[in-house]
Amino acid sequence: MNGETPAAILKSNLWTNNPIFIQILGICSTLAITNNLVNTLIMTLAVVFVTGLSNTTVSVLKSLIPRKVRMIVQTLIIAFYVILVDIVIRAFLPEISKALGPYVGLIITNCIIMGRAEAFAQLNPPIMALWDGLTSGAGYMAVLVVIAIIRELLGAGSLLGYQILGAGFTTWTIMVMPPSAFFLLGTLIWVAKTIMIRKEST
Amino acid sequence: MTPQINPLILLFASIFTGNILLTNFLGLCSFISISRDMKSANGLGLAVTVVLTLTALINWAVMHYILIPLNLMVYRYIVFIIVIAATVQMLEMIIDRVSPALYMTLGIFLPLITVNCAILGVALFMQIRNYGLLQTLAFSFGSGLGWWLAIIALAAIQKKIARAPVPAGLQGPGITLITIGFMALAFIGFSGMLNVS
């Protein structure tokens, strides 16, 4: 990973090495709230913020953290930023904070953040680590926002709370239930992988 | 949702209708990567159940006797995660001393568990839903069993899928997620009987 250009990192994190499609990391904390686009946006923005800043912090402190305890130190750094996010969301968006429930706190155990800290921030300068964190978060966000758009549109006929599909539309109850998130994510991975395989063979 | 819910009902609800993995998506990361073979699925399931029950009880005590009296609830994320990490570490050392045989089957899974979202998730649900001690015990033990059940079922299904003609793009995580989706549908079928969340 050393010495890569920002553009290469962007492409890798958004597509060829997308945290969700390829690594299947970190879906636990966010998949549950993808039945509503607003919540998904807030939640994934929080993940982008935490990944970017914790990556930077780990990179700045990398020579000071003893190797043996680096996991717990990284966890504490991540927890620090998650607490900031939690306080901000609770102060400015109390309704959404209630809807998100425990899932904001669960960003701490989101494997993407820990994974980027281990794989990238440990070895690279702070600015690159920040960029890597932000783009990883963005790759994660893109996939989940697609899922949220499909689920909210078909499940409630609306987007961002505004009614899009008319009164004649029968809402798909399954789209607001948990199994649909598994089906959609599985299908999206299928599509993405098929495109990747085609590109490789040509 | 009320704190007065019967612990026994809560136990069954958290195994079946409110399965932590299938309805709350918690603990998916290790779930997908481990579920390929039966033996390690079993080991991980056992480890998760033990750690989940233990840490939920400790976190309950810490919350009610330390965090709430001292008005430190803002720091609950850090405290919960430290309690979980410390418990896992201690459990690892104790098992290593007491039973090397058990350590061989369980030991390799313990470090994975610290970052398992289900453990922290149960602690946070317990706090948000305001469970009492007995309810916490029932909820955490039931969630652990539910997770165990789900991972064994998935490992068994994966064995059959290995012999099925799956399209190239769908192989691996894609088909696993769709399988989990069907399992979730089956489990949610019970939800008319019991519903807590």
Structural domain contains residue A165: yes
Structural domain range at position A30: 6-201
Identify the band that residue A1 occupies on the pLDDT scale cut at 50, 70 and 90.
Answer: very low
Give dist(CA A183, CA B68) in Å, integer.
41
* Residue A169 in tokens: 């539309």
Distances (CA, A) of B145 to A50, A128, B20, B58: 32, 43, 10, 19
In this prediction, residues A169-197 reach a mean pLDDT of: 82
For chain B, list the strands marked E by DSSP. Answer: none
Q: Do B170 and A190 form a contact (C-beta atoms < 8 A)?
A: yes
Looking at the domain assignment, is residue A152 inside a domain?
yes
Q: Is B117 on the interface with A (CB under 8 A)?
A: yes
Domain-embedded: residue A102: yes
ipTM of the complex: 0.78
Which 33-62 residues of chain B touch chain A by CB within 8 A?
Answer: 33
pLDDT per residue as tens digits for the range B119-170: 888 888 888 888 888 888 888 999 999 888 888 888 888 888 888 887 877 7
Q: Do B177 and A189 touch, CB atoms closer than 8 A?
A: yes
> Would you call B184 and A178 a contact, using CB atoms and an 8 Å cutoff?
yes
pLDDT tens digit sequence for B72-84: 888 888 888 888 8
* SS3 category, A46: helix
Distance CA A123, CA A121 (A): 5
Q: B120: buried, middle or exposed (CB in 10 Å: 19+, 13-18, 0-12)?
A: buried
**DSSP reduced 3-state for A34:** coil
Tell me the H-state helices in chain A: 6-11, 28-31, 37-60, 70-92, 94-100, 111-116, 126-156, 173-176, 178-201
Domain map of chain B by residue range?
Answer: 7-192
Q: Please check whether residue A1 lies inside any domain of the structure.
A: no
A88–B contact, CB cutoff 8 A: no
> Could you count the other beta carbons within 10 Å of the beta carbon of residue A89?
19
A108 vs B83: CA distance, rounded Å:
14
pLDDT value at B4 more than 70: no
- Answer for the pair A110, A31: CB distance below 8 angstroms, yes or no: no
The tally of domains found in chain A comes to 1
CB contact under 8 A, B25 and A31: yes
